[in-house]
Structure 1
Amino acid sequence: MAITALQVLERTLRVTWDDGGAEEFHHLWLRDHGVAAGDLHADTRERVVDFHALQPDLRPLEAELEGEETIRVVWSDRRETRHDGGWLRAHTYAPGRGTGLGSAREPWRAEMVEHLPFFDYREVVESEAIQLRFLRGLVRDGFSLLTGAPSAEGEVERLAGHLGYLREICFGRLRDIRVEPSAYNIAFTDDVVKPHTDLANYAWPPGVQFLHCLVQEASGGETRLVDGLAAANDLRAEDREAFDALTRVEVEFQISNRDYDVRAASPILVAGPEGEFKMIRFSNQARRSFVCHPDLVEPFYRGYRRLSELLNDAGNQVHFRLAPGQILAMDNHRVLHARDAFNASSGRRHLQIGSMEMDVVMSRIRLLERKLNDRDTRTA
């Protein structure tokens, strides 16, 4: 994107682009994000200059354009930096703008069922371009669906090998979801499972869950998904005090059996500095106690009640039946999943689930973008 004008102000550099947009960048931020000779290690490209070594009152002595997209700045410490206009536009920190995962997310409701993001398993494995579309869809919508996968145990791990690697948790690398006689978790029964994020009992729950349908013979057992981003946005708009309480009160979550007892305390919602959605941790079945300031108790319960209503509202959910050979990939920090009750005596139902970090997905997206020269600044 071409730059048409530069203006050095008292504390900022104002940059104007050819589409009429303009942003201001603080001098110190601009210097911190520029590269002068000696700032980076010659081989590793890591920073070698401590931030405290920069003069706190740095200001531009000169700021000029080199071509249409590069800014050259000479600073008061006589160092020079160069800045790419496209990078600056993508990384502006002005209110309402964002970069990375947050800016790529698009909220949805029940109407999403009309255009579910299906991808062919073989094409995702064999085509890097289609794999990139699949992963971008996972980031944008919070879930993607693969069809035509082999109905074989361990296929989730083989898929993960094409994307990165799985995360080991207390259940192992893969977890079988089927009815078990001595169930210690509702997922191993044929009862309804309400909307939840997985492994809320971990200090950092896995960012991505892969759910592979191997056998689906029983009547019932349909899958439901709901967008935690949309629900949190609704709550924030309706009752900011209640929303804020859910970001401040730490709730304990626990999953345990005879072999392990994993628990962690965290707010239900994680928000950014402007109140923007970052993450939801919601599992009513694994929720335990909390302790907080007395003034937060009532706003917390008001917020939790309303959030639970929004997440369980059919108008906010997509509803479909997973078929053998389908793999559902979910952003576990955003999208909640649920299961209708089913009749275990009517047939078998067997799924396998594996966990991955969203960091792995984002890394794969960036590598594919570089290789294919297919840049999407929202996932930069």
Structure 2
Amino acid sequence: MRDLEQHPITPDFDVWPVIVKPAAVRSEDGALLVEWSDCSISRYHPFLLAENDPSPDVLHPLARETTLSPLDLPGDLLISSAELGPDGTVIVHWTHNHPTSRYHPGWLYGNGWFDTPHTIETTVLWTGKNQPEPPTFDGPTALNDPAVFLSWLTALRDFGVARLENLPNQDGLLMQVVERIGPIRESNFGRMYTLEIKDDPDSNAFTSDALMLHIDMPTRECPHGLQFLFCRDNTTSGGEGIYADAYRIAADLAAEEPEHFKALCEIEWTYNNRSKSTSYKAKGPVIERDFGGRVTGIRYNTWLRAPLVASLQEQGRAYRSYRAFAARAQDPTYQMKFAYRPGDLVAFDNRRTLHGRNGYDAHGGTRFIEGIYSDRDDLLSAIRSLERSFTTETTS
């Protein structure tokens, strides 16, 4: 969107404040080079700029999506020259009599290549020793104050677990909270489920037994990204929640037991749910990484692993590495333990934060905990949208 009225629109609805101003621009081998007031230099491929041209011939002014096919551009299109407008707008002139383009300087700075990526790492790795409880916020305040709600969401993103407390025992409240973030993702347990004891359970969760640390839904091609547990009543003894940061476990394995870390990233286990009415099955390594080697997800659930069909040598390697991961997951040093109190809503990243519980006395009181799943994408979208709304208020 506009930072100042004179700047061009951008190919999105984000806010791009001009914190660093362009000092000089020029064409370099047909690409755009921008020197900035902080002495940094960024470069832009001609095709990147041409297909993000904010003119109405290229960018739909309402949808902010390009209407241009890559083949609509000459294959040898180059930038012939560039100049700065009085307000810092970057003006680009093209070969092939292609129409002149104008670019928002804040958008250019935010999307430029500076030889090294301008990324901000928000992930906070933790153990139970340095993070004995989740980041916690007053629930009624968060639901009434968008700034506090945003703080809860960013804590969930950064720590992989965050809690609201003091919420009322209200039907439908959990669904309302989750839908403020994004759509609910259903599962074979339904749109919403209750952690109750079943006579014929289709998961260990529907018993009063202790649960080993795990993620849910490793049986899906893409496991559910977020889980929300709302404690509406709890007068039982035991049943404390146990959580661990699997990203921290992975980082420690990479540093201290690299051969096990490597095996956990390479060997694919198959997971299948144990149910009489459904049959979900998926495979993947315990530790998932992107092309840059950054850990992006964990697929760890001891009781849903199917037999590993592989050579004895590969099975030996797989079990040794899995035991190394389990040894850390079950080490109290890594574990965050806390009671589920009435009014608590605990949200966590299901593909990062392992969760489990102590067993509880099912005959010694009542226990009413509701659960819902959604996805990481919705969390990140909600954070960006809220941040954008606050930035718009500040710059307007």
Contact 1:16/1:22 (CA < 8 Å) preserved in 2? Answer: yes
Between the aligned partners of 2:34 and 2:24, the Cα distance in structure 1 is 6
Say which of 131, 146, 149 aligns to 1:113: 131
Q: Return the letter of the residue paired with 1:267.
A: P
Contact persistence 1:28–1:56 (CA under 8 A): no
Distance 2:366 2:327 in 1: 32
- Paired residue for 2:78, among 54, 59, 73? 59
Counterpart CA distance in 2 for 1:51 and 1:22 is 27
Equivalent positions of 1:1-380 (< 5 A) are 1-6=20-25, 8-10=27-29, 13-36=32-55, 38-66=57-85, 70-77=89-96, 78-92=98-112, 97=117, 103-113=121-131, 116-238=134-256, 242-291=260-309, 297=315, 299-373=317-391
Contact 2:30-2:80 at 8 Å conserved across structures: no
Q: CA RMSD in A?
A: 3.1
Q: Deviations over 1:61-116 (max 9, x none)?
A: 123333575433223343434444443444456687466xx843222222443573
Amino acid corresponding to residue 216 of structure 2 in structure 1? D
> Percent of aligned pairs with the same residue?
28
Give the Cα separation in 2 of the matches to 1:96 and 1:228: 28
CA contact (8 A) 1:249 1:292 kept: no
User: Is the 8 Å Cα contact of residues 153 and 214 (structure 1) preserved in structure 2?
Assistant: no
Q: CA 1:36–1:205 in structure 2 vs 1: closer, same or farther (change >3 Å)?
A: same
Change (3 A) 1:224 1:19: farther
Once residues 253 and 163 of structure 2 are traced to their aligned partners in structure 1, the CA distance between those partners, rounded to angstroms, is 28
- 8 Å CA contact retained: 1:7, 1:14: yes
State the SS of the aligned residue for 1:344.
Answer: coil
For residue 324 of structure 1, report the CA deviation from its aligned partner.
0.8
Q: Which residue identity lines up with residue 70 of structure 2 in the other structure?
A: F
- Deviates further, 359-368 or 314-323: 359-368
Partner-residue secondary structure (3-state), 1:119: strand
**Aligned partners of 2:272 and 2:145: how far apart in 1?**
40
Determine the C-alpha separation between the residues in 1 that align with 2:113 and 2:353. Answer: 26
SS class of match (2:337): strand
d(CA) in 2 for partners of 1:76, 1:291 = 59
The question of whether the paired residues in 2 share the 8 Å contact of 1:249 and 1:290 is answered with no
Please list every run of 5 or more consecutive structure 2 residues that lacks an aligned counterpart in the other structure: 1-19
SS of 2:307 mapped into structure 1 = strand
Q: Which structure has greater strand proportion? A: 1
The structure-2 alpha-carbon separation of the partners of 1:57 and 1:282, relative to structure 1 and needing over 3 Å to count, comes to: farther
Contact 1:175–1:354 (CA under 8 A) maintained in structure 2: yes
What amino acid is aligned across from residue 178 of structure 1 in structure 2?
A: E
Larger gyration radius, structure 1 or structure 2: 2
Q: Any idea what the Cα deviations from partners look like across 1:224-281, whole Å, max 9, x if unmatched?
A: 2211222223333445564454344432222232332222223322211110121112
For residues 175-203 of structure 1, give each alpha carbon's deviation from its aligned partner in whole angstroms, at most 9, with x where no partner exists.
11133333342212232211111111122
Distance between the aligned counterparts of 2:116 and 2:321, measured in 1?
A: 24
Query: Contact 1:252–1:289 at 8 Å: present in 2 too?
Result: yes
Q: Distance in 2 between matches of 1:93 and 1:154?
A: 46
Shift of 1:347: 2.8
Other structure's SS at 1:201 match: coil
Q: Distance in 2 between matches of 1:294 and 1:91?
A: 49
- Give the length in aligned residue pairs: 374
Q: Give yes or no for contact 1:97–1:103 (8 Å, CA) kept in 2.
A: no
CA distance in 2, matches of 1:186, 1:14: 59
**Structure 2 vs 1, CA of residues 147 and 301 (structure 1 numbering), >3 Å: closer, same or farther?**
same
Displacement of 1:205: 1.9
- In structure 1, how many angstroms separate the alpha carbons of the residues matched to 2:106 and 2:160? 27
Q: Quick one: distance in 1 between partners of 2:118 and 2:316?
A: 33
Deviation of 1:33 after TM superposition, in Å, equals 4.3
Counterparts of 2:61 and 2:156, CA distance in 1: 36
Distance in 1 between the 2:114 and 2:144 partners?
A: 40
Are the counterparts in 1 of residues 83 and 91 from structure 2 also a CA contact under 8 Å? yes
Counterparts of 1:299 and 1:13, CA distance in 2:
50
Counterpart residue number, 1:378: none
Query: For residues 224 and 148 of structure 2, what CA distance do their matches in structure 1 show?
Result: 24
Letter of the 2:244 partner, please give it.
V
Native 8 Å contact 1:39 1:48 kept in 2: yes
Contact preservation (8 Å) 2:30, 2:79: no
Is 262-271 or 74-83 further displaced after alignment? 74-83
TM-score, normalised to structure 1, is 0.85
